[in-house]
Chain A
Amino acid sequence: MNSVGEGCTDLKREYDQCFNRWFAEKFLKGDRSGDPCTEMFKKYQHCVQKAIKEKDIPIDGVEFMGPNKDKPGG
Chain B
Amino acid sequence: MGHFQENIQLKDPVKGILCEKAMGRYFCNENELNSSWDHILCAFWQRYPNPFSAHVLTEDVLFRELTPDNCLLSRRLFTKTNLLPRWAERVFPSHLNKSVFIVEDSVVDPETHTLTTHTHNINHTRFMTVVERCVFQRDKERPSWTLISREAWISSGVFGLSRAIQKFGLSRFKSNQLKSMKGLVYALSKLHTESFPPRVHGDPPVQESPPPNTASTQKPQQYS
Contacts and interface: CB of A to CB of B under 8 A. Distances in A.
A12 B60 contact: yes
A73 B127 contact: yes
Given A1-B48, A67-B131, A62 B122 contact: yes
B49 A1 contact: yes
Contacts, number: 98
The contact size tier of chain B is 35 or more
B42 A58 contact: no
Given A28-B41, A28-B110, A66-B118, A3 B73 contact: no
B66 A35 contact: yes
A49 B77 CA distance: 11
Interface stretch (B7-15, B99-107, B139-147): B99-107
A interface SS class: loop
B interface SS class: strand
Interface in B48-95: 48-49, 56-64, 66, 70, 72-73, 75, 77, 79
Interface residues of A, number: 37
B45 A23 contact: yes
Contacts of B73: 64
Interface of A: 1-5, 8, 12, 15-16, 19-20, 23-24, 27-28, 30, 32, 35, 41, 44-45, 48-49, 52, 57-59, 62, 64-68, 71-74
Which 4 pairs of residues, A with B, have the shortest CB-CB distance? A73-B126, A1-B59, A74-B123, A73-B125
18 contacts: A1-B59, A3-B58, A4-B58, A5-B60, A16-B46, A23-B42, A23-B72, A32-B66, A48-B62, A52-B62, A57-B101, A57-B122, A59-B122, A64-B75, A67-B118, A73-B125, A74-B122, A74-B123
